[in-house]
Structure 1
């Protein structure tokens, strides 16, 4: 008798529960150690959200452009967290005016209350979006225990929001293209993660969604400029150069950046060589999107390829952005449960689900960034599936034409 697979439904409950408990324990230990041995970086948690709240505070005072000036932003950060001593690279505001418009209401509320509402609200939307297409499979515990979920919540980041918009846009594309386009257009609040979406829509001839996305992004951009002034657009463009300079100088933590650029730099490549390698892989990701989206393919496959390729494009993505990785994991997982598994696919998804937890430690200890390797492995499996599906369709057409 053939033995069943080791990944049973009971283990899919036990392992995530153990993982979540371990992560909560780790967070508690970090908070305890920080309490008795504080550093010069201020409070232990919500380190990214304090930048959002401070930028919102300046914008509400009519000084939105000052968010891009670290010498004017830092005093506000110190008002939020008096323990801050010196300026760090991650205290800068690098987001476009469109995101400044989205987070404008944050500073209306006291800091900790604002952090709790923003984090829990966006986490709820993220979990609801993932659970909606995984029905009837229960994945709530898998979502909460997914390491980037904990990282994003701990830091108060915006990746729950961007992943929700990307997931909703792709899930609704076939049924409600205009709504899908609006969701995709709203990704203009973090445009470096949405670069490949217009390419996908173009090759899929999704004209309604493409128009809705363009109109939404344009309206968001115009509204933000009317609200904060055109100077914010120029300040944002200047901040891109500052971010590039900080990354080149090593001021940004490369071990927390699961990108090809970071992987090459950690292995000793020069900045120019790392950029060249990253560009080559990003080009491969773009071509993967073109190949898959220009021909009829199952939507889960198209969407997964687009999300994975999007994670390969940006050279300055951080570990909390790997909340996006839950999308292809869930899509591939649901497809496998409903249609059957190929050999090794479950093991790959388990590795992808666990991998963000080890990225930082492996990068620090071995100077090896494993995040891009997992993304490339998943993309390779999907491209193989797409090739097989295309071949099967061609055979079916050939058979039908001869009968």
Structure 2
């Protein structure tokens, strides 16, 4: 019911949003059925686009996956260092698809990710894309099941907007979300192994900036050792597999990754970071970086303060995940699939111990809006993605502080 209907005042509407009484079970089920119908239509369209792409010279479906598959092909052919040379990487992609179309998808990821992608080169593109997406989704859902047990709503999670964004882009969101979920699930009983899972984020290290902060604050020393060991092992394995040349090439071309941000190679409206929001609002580049740095310091400081209370393994994991997209300038909507983990956790806590003001409304916004992030930012110049991530981080921090935390690590 909206303000003005049957005499309802704007103040009453605000109260309903604050209390979160409006998403009743019947409404949630009805809205979800509509959402599933829409998503099935989108997926059917996606399948048709895959079929058309397979018969044409246009960039294929899951276009972002092209960069991983092409880099894997270069490594498979014995030239892994060439994956970091944009011109050679682009040439490999064009040759593989027999097209003159420009893909403009450079490979800037650390060598451990290339090592993981290597088996994909043995498959044709569409088969590799299917294997990448399905194994990523299954692995992520399996780790979520280990973390939440019977609290995991399988269908709403698997068909969530965040999951679909990653799947349709052929990106790494399931991989990083699996590392986050596995690490959090193991942190209480197997801290060393949990640290190894978090250390696997060396494949996308800019998403792991909150890990050492929270672990140090919570005195998770064994987890820190595990993370360091995992990072060193993955880097060593990539060196053994590919040799010195790949690391030299990666380090030589790493500064070029900054040009994605500084030269407008990626539309700021596609970003989900504080930096991207500042650029969408036409702030100068240097000021945008300063705003991002200030936001990261504030978020990490808040995370440190909360983690010092030692709220327990699950809460610490949620804090790390919720902080991740706020601490780096390079975040795109598909990277946010990891936020489904704190969304599920927060919903479970609310159902078990009662809901805090605005909590259910924040959860509904965080779950439903990701498919609109780019459209609203591009057409209306309103960067809602970082607004949603800030709201979710606030909700996670407030929930942890509202609970009675244990004084020793769980």
Matched, 1:60 2:82: no
**Contact residue 170 and residue 180 of structure 1 kept, 8 A:** yes
Aligned residue for 1:74? 90
My pick for the range that moved more, 52-61 or 271-280, is 52-61
Partner SS, residue 277 of structure 1: helix
Whole-Å separation in 2 of the counterparts to 1:247 and 1:268? 14
Match of 1:293 among 307, 313, 325: 307
Partner SS, residue 376 of structure 1: helix
Aligned residue for 1:6? 22
Match of 2:265 among 229, 251, 274: 251
Shift of 1:207: 1.6
- Post-superposition Cα deviations, 1:288-320, rounded to whole Å, max 9, x if no partner, equal 221111112144432222111111112111111
Consecutive unaligned residues of structure 1, counting only runs of 5 or more, are: 395-403
**Contact residue 342 and residue 396 of structure 2 kept, 8 A:** no
Partner SS, residue 103 of structure 1: helix
Aligned residue for 2:329? 315
Shift of 1:186: 1.2
Whole-Å separation in 2 of the counterparts to 1:153 and 1:173? 28
> For residues 4-403 of structure 1, what are the structure 2 equivalents within 5 Å?
5-29=21-45, 42-88=58-104, 91-389=105-403
Whole-Å separation in 1 of the counterparts to 2:158 and 2:43? 14
Whole-Å separation in 2 of the counterparts to 1:355 and 1:367? 16
Shift of 1:79: 3.1
TM-score, normalising length from structure 2? 0.87
Whole-Å separation in 2 of the counterparts to 1:229 and 1:51? 21
**Contact residue 186 and residue 194 of structure 2 kept, 8 A:** yes
Aligned residue for 2:3? none
Whole-Å separation in 2 of the counterparts to 1:50 and 1:393? 47
**Contact residue 42 and residue 84 of structure 1 kept, 8 A:** no
Shift of 1:270: 1.0
Shift of 1:29: 4.4
Quickly say closer, same or farther: Cα 1:35–1:287, change in 2 above 3 A. Answer: same
Quickly say closer, same or farther: Cα 1:31–1:253, change in 2 above 3 A. Answer: farther
Q: In the comparison of the two structures, how many residue pairs are matched?
A: 389
Shift of 1:32: 5.8
**Contact residue 215 and residue 221 of structure 2 kept, 8 A:** yes
**Contact residue 309 and residue 379 of structure 1 kept, 8 A:** yes
Consecutive unaligned residues of structure 2, counting only runs of 5 or more, are: 1-18
Shift of 1:228: 1.5
- Post-superposition Cα deviations, 1:103-135, rounded to whole Å, max 9, x if no partner, equal 111101222112111110110111222234334
CA RMSD of aligned residues (A): 2.6
Aligned residue for 2:13? none
Whole-Å separation in 2 of the counterparts to 1:102 and 1:328? 26
Whole-Å separation in 2 of the counterparts to 1:351 and 1:195? 25
**Contact residue 259 and residue 316 of structure 1 kept, 8 A:** yes
Partner SS, residue 151 of structure 2: coil
Partner SS, residue 317 of structure 1: coil
Whole-Å separation in 2 of the counterparts to 1:33 and 1:109? 20
